[in-house]
Structure 1
Amino acid sequence: MLRVGAEVLRDVALAARREWVLADGLGGWAASTVLGLHTRGAHGLLAVASPSARAPMLLLARVEEALSFDGARHELGANDYGGVLHPRGHEIADSFLLDPLPTLTWEVADRRLSRTVARIHGEPAVVLAYQYEGPDAAALEVRPLLAYRELDARQRENGAVRTAPVRTGQDVVLQPYEGCPALALRLAGAAWEGDGIWYRGFRYVRDAERGLPAREDLFSPGLFRLTLRPGTTVAFVAWVGAIPPATDPLARMANERRRIRALGDAADGLVPDLRRAADAFIVRAPGGGRAIVSGYPSAVLSVREALITLPGLCLATGRHEEARAILLALTARVEGDLVATRSADELSGVDGVDTGLWWVVAVERFREATGDAEFIRSRLQGPLLAILEGYRAGTRRGAGVSPEGLLAHEESATPLGSLGASAEGQPPRRAFAVEVQALWYNALLIGADLARAAGQSARAGEWAALAARARDSFLRAFWSDRHGYLADVVDGTGADFSLRPHQLHALGLPHSLLPRDKAQRVLEVARRALLTPVGLRSLAAFDTRYVGAVAGDGAPTPPLDRGAAWPFLAALYFDALIRVHGEAAKADAWRWVDGFAPRLADGTLATIPEAFEGEPPHRPLGGLASARAVAELLRLVTRLGRRPAGRTTRPERI
């Protein structure tokens, strides 16, 4: 349970930095700040995964509420209209509670109105429950504001919108644009008043900081009006398509609260919060089965991201059957040397030359967690061998084994590094990237072990010998005694010794490429120059290109590859530290976890954002919620095992 008091809610600058996100298990979400002030175009109440669009669609952006009594009307919202805050609902906001659904409460003249939001798991729907307490009756207005756009688009006032509902009655059915899904609205016992008006000039300050479109107009087809008696609770429902018969929205909300709470049962410390956060990224795939989205709000179905996050999201949480199903689904898309990328209707590209290598590592993580050798032998071993043979023979994307045994790759428009697709400003990393070599070495040894277990001793010997050759060549090409760490990239012009965290893959994956003395030196450099309380910097602080913090509120956000701290990389760092220094290093890992835990009560509440500033105060950057960050912290905490007695890492109050 996380609580935000009036002292934060009434300070707009503080409240605007605390966000929440709910997922629907389909790739859709609801998200906002604790005050309901939208600071991103991705904030909204009903965003849905769209099979006909390449990105999620935000349908219901927000609702504007007002409470009237004794001849006075009190508007409850808070919107940024280009520096003008209107209405001023923050002045009567009393509390915010995440338990685990977000509830915002306003108090005015001895009257209290609470609004709880729930996305219904497995349904394209949102429920808003309003609970009223006061000495007498009050009138509630609920006005929906529609966006009806893809995630990165922005709506402007236009003449194409259908101003009138398609149908009214028990439900108000809207379809503001031809070809877009219909939206059914319901507020039982309320009267609908149609007017069809535009709200112009919303400004999203976080988008402005990131250089994204930050202005929008929203359309409202009308409003619901309802009289509230003291002690009553009513529910507003928005549902894509028709609302199913006999739907009890308050019961559905109660079921969703119980479902989320149960995800953290039988666990202690930080694990319950992380398990609940992890559940948001495991979704129903468009064609059925299970899939993993990379984060919110982007909700990308990337195979590469699924392979990296599967050990934490599924294996560390005991969701082994879902791990099997996801691995099988990804295996079906193996194409000899690579795994296809994105969703089923986006098979034209690939995530990068390392995707197939991540698949091999994911198989090894699955074996370690489940011990299910028969499943691997019967269902995964064949594709695994095909992947390794495909790399050795040369892939369609220009990857192939060099005479030295390293995996060479041509320039790619997609960054290959551990920072992934989010670091799109990062220059392409060509020829020999350090983490690709670490993945290649691990894939060869994992394949050799599986071949040996299958009685294929000759093939096992070939791959083990190739791995040994790759290791020797790697050390000659990448290691620098002068720097005390590894090159980030080696190509025909030389070696790039920019200090970045990619090289930790050479120490933290199941098979290390470095002898202990060299590994110790890399870890010491990483501790001094990359490690922060919120993750590892993407670039060392001593680099002249380093930008560790946003210049100030409203200032542009620097590219995330220029020094932002990435929380997911901390797990890799501590994997390597424990390998080199043994069980004693777990105490260092626990200290870091304890220091990081309060971040779940700041930024995006009860989950982990994509990145943070590299310098104090380490404000959140990038996406609202990152599958990698949650998965890797879960994997780390699970690896650490039972925590020292007397410690707690669960934030209870803000």
Structure 2
Amino acid sequence: MATPNYLFEENQYYMIDNRTGFLGVDNHYTPYEVNINIKAKEIKKFYVICTLENEINKTGFEMEKEYKNRINTLIEKAGYNDNFANNLVKAADHFIVDRKSTGLKTILAGYPWFTDWGRDTMIAFEGLVLCTKRFEDAREILESFSKYVKNGLVPNLFPDANTEPLYNTVDASLWYFQAVYKYLKYTGNEEDYKFIEEKIYDKLVEIFKSYSSKTDFSIGMDEDGLIFAGSGLDQVTWMDVRVGDIVVTPRHGKPVEINALWYNALCIMEELRIRFNKENLYYKELSLKVKDSFNKKFWNKDKQCLFDVIDEDDDKIRPNQLWAVSLPFSILDREKEKQIVDTSYKHLYSTYGLRSLSFMDKEFKDKYIGELFKRDLAYHMGTTWGFLIGPFITSYCKVNNYDEKAIIKAKEMLSVFEDHMRDGCINGIAEIFDGEFSSTSRGCYSQAWSVGEVLRVYCDINKY
């Protein structure tokens, strides 16, 4: 039995804290110890329950059995036939939780620090709840976020405390269209379309109207049909670090992935409008204008890829351009798509994802380590991001017509994650990795969109 002794062990050294800029020296508190006497060849089982609940009506053995039964049911529902996929299904389950304010499901962005973020949720959505065939959870997540759309913006994040959501994001709302579109592609029943028409469609129209005029955080549409966003100290794309008055990755203007997503959203709205026989708000006409402007203004002939931001042309080679290739509705011709993939492979591909900046760039940061200020300066300036393997593999396979050679290569790129899931946070995929030696994981020990995107592309390439 447990015997409280309330021991303190002083001056314990923690390497994980030292590498993040702290001394790494702390005190270790042990409120209990468990002593079990075992005779030779004897087998004993015991459990320890750590909880904040006042009353527990189950034994540890009962709880373990319930969990295993539940996980096995999820694995059976997903229908995969290998350990890697099954482990990804298990990992996906960790992020799908209840949101008390809506009484519906949501997705936590990462452990141990993040709550539910709009952008992360919508990017992770397909992998976590569609590839696993958790369609009821998918509906709840879409409805949960619809309740918080404000001035055409999906929340950037829900804070820990009982405070209002923050809305400083331009891409969460645009990824919401993609999540809706993919939900219907995976389900496609009349009741699913009815759910979108009755619960979600008006919110999509609200987002469109807000973006096609102007809304908060300097988000709006220019005369060329393209979306601009951000000003001053605002950071509204996923490359969002600000340290005091230092905007580390200023992407004010017209970011490339935002306008690829905008074109995607317009194409989706045209399909839904026709399906639901709704008012024609000229989605198709506007999408053609956006496509024309995008091709004229974003192509960087010198580097054979896309500018990261226009109108003050930012020619840094970053991974954001890949979404112009990987999203369902193609905005570029195949030759330009192939050049983007080739450039990205050369400058950005790293074992466990893609670097956030070309390793040849003079501002490239090769390690994410040290005190917070130093880490923030590296976060989007070369650090490798696990979730970016998703759009890269999709783009790579697309430009190679999903031929046998491309599928084999894609499977090789994915296979390393199976090994990674035995390191660090067991059965998880880290948020980020160093830019130079990407085998070293950093940031959140397990991240929703890292798991989601690996599972999504696994699902995609195993169709072939």
Regarding TM over 0.5, the answer is yes
2:45 counterpart (233, 246, 250): 233
Provide the residue aligned with 2:214 in structure 1.
394
Distance 2:369 2:94 in 1: 32
Provide the residue aligned with 2:456 in structure 1.
635
Contact in 1 for aligned 2:397/2:407 (Cα 8 Å):
yes
Q: CA deviation at 1:348?
A: 4.9
Amino acid at match of 1:349: L
Give CA-to-partner distance per residue, 1:326-353, whole Å, 9 cap, x none. Answer: 1011111112411234337332521402
Does 2:140 correspond to 1:325?
yes
Amino acid at match of 1:277: A
Does 2:239 correspond to 1:431?
no
Does 2:21 correspond to 1:211?
yes
Give CA-to-partner distance per residue, 1:459-487, whole Å, 9 cap, x none. Answer: 2xx22111221222222222111111111
Distance 1:639 1:563 in 2: 28
Does 2:265 correspond to 1:443?
yes
Provide the residue aligned with 2:321 in structure 1.
503
Distance 2:198 2:438 in 1: 51
Distance 1:568 1:203 in 2: 32
Distance 1:590 1:362 in 2: 25
Distance 1:401 1:633 in 2: 33
Where 1:524 maps in the other structure, the secondary structure is helix
Q: Give percent identity, aligned residues only.
A: 26
Closer/same/farther in 2, CA of residues 602 and 343 from structure 1, 3 Å limit: same
Closer/same/farther in 2, CA of residues 619 and 241 from structure 1, 3 Å limit: same
Distance 1:412 1:441 in 2: 26
Contact in 2 for aligned 1:603/1:619 (Cα 8 Å):
no
Provide the residue aligned with 1:365 in structure 2.
182
Give CA-to-partner distance per residue, 1:514-534, whole Å, 9 cap, x none. Answer: 111211111111111111221
Closer/same/farther in 2, CA of residues 286 and 299 from structure 1, 3 Å limit: farther
Provide the residue aligned with 1:542 in structure 2.
360
Provide the residue aligned with 2:201 in structure 1.
381
Give CA-to-partner distance per residue, 1:346-397, whole Å, 9 cap, x none. Answer: 3252140222111111111111111132222222111111110111121122
Where 2:313 maps in the other structure, the secondary structure is strand
Closer/same/farther in 2, CA of residues 204 and 454 from structure 1, 3 Å limit: same
Distance 1:515 1:431 in 2: 24
Closer/same/farther in 2, CA of residues 528 and 225 from structure 1, 3 Å limit: closer
Amino acid at match of 2:59: D
- For these two proteins, the number of residue pairs brought into alignment is 445
Does 2:281 correspond to 1:281?
no
Distance 1:327 1:342 in 2: 15
Does 2:123 correspond to 1:303?
no
More off after superposition, 287-296 vs 407-416: 407-416
Q: CA deviation at 1:225?
A: 5.3
Structure 2 portions without partners, runs of 5+:
none
Distance 1:359 1:374 in 2: 17
- Greater strand percent: which structure? 1
Report the RMSD for the aligned CA atoms in angstroms.
2.7
Amino acid at match of 1:591: E
Q: CA deviation at 1:257?
A: 3.6
Contact in 2 for aligned 1:340/1:351 (Cα 8 Å):
yes
Closer/same/farther in 2, CA of residues 549 and 618 from structure 1, 3 Å limit: farther
Distance 2:21 2:232 in 1: 25
Closer/same/farther in 2, CA of residues 419 and 570 from structure 1, 3 Å limit: farther
Structure (1 or 2) with the larger CA radius of gyration: 1
- 5 Å-filtered alignment, 1:104-503, equals 189-190=1-2, 192-194=3-5, 196-211=6-21, 214-221=24-31, 223=33, 227-229=37-39, 230-245=42-57, 247-265=58-76, 266-269=79-82, 270-287=84-101, 288-343=103-158, 345-371=162-188, 372-411=192-231, 413=233, 415-419=235-239, 426-456=248-278, 458-459=280-281, 462-491=282-311, 494-503=312-321
Distance 1:293 1:389 in 2: 29
Distance 2:15 2:186 in 1: 43
Contact in 2 for aligned 1:294/1:626 (Cα 8 Å):
yes
Where 1:200 maps in the other structure, the secondary structure is strand
Distance 1:215 1:425 in 2: 32
Closer/same/farther in 2, CA of residues 455 and 252 from structure 1, 3 Å limit: closer
Contact in 1 for aligned 2:322/2:391 (Cα 8 Å):
yes
Distance 1:312 1:221 in 2: 40
Provide the residue aligned with 2:382 in structure 1.
563
Q: CA deviation at 1:421?
A: 6.8
Where 2:50 maps in the other structure, the secondary structure is strand
Q: CA deviation at 1:318?
A: 0.3
Where 1:239 maps in the other structure, the secondary structure is coil
- 5 Å-filtered alignment, 1:483-632, equals 483-491=303-311, 494-549=312-367, 559-584=378-403, 585-616=406-437, 618-632=439-453
Structure 1 portions without partners, runs of 5+:
1-188, 644-654
Where 2:215 maps in the other structure, the secondary structure is coil
- Greater helix percent: which structure? 2
Where 1:458 maps in the other structure, the secondary structure is coil
Where 1:448 maps in the other structure, the secondary structure is helix
Closer/same/farther in 2, CA of residues 201 and 263 from structure 1, 3 Å limit: farther
Q: CA deviation at 1:197?
A: 4.6
Where 1:304 maps in the other structure, the secondary structure is helix
Distance 1:522 1:509 in 2: 14
Q: CA deviation at 1:280?
A: 0.4
Q: CA deviation at 1:583?
A: 2.1
Distance 1:338 1:233 in 2: 52
Distance 2:27 2:193 in 1: 56
Give CA-to-partner distance per residue, 1:570-606, whole Å, 9 cap, x none. Answer: 1111222333221213333222223443222233322
Provide the residue aligned with 1:91 in structure 2.
none
Distance 1:642 1:348 in 2: 39
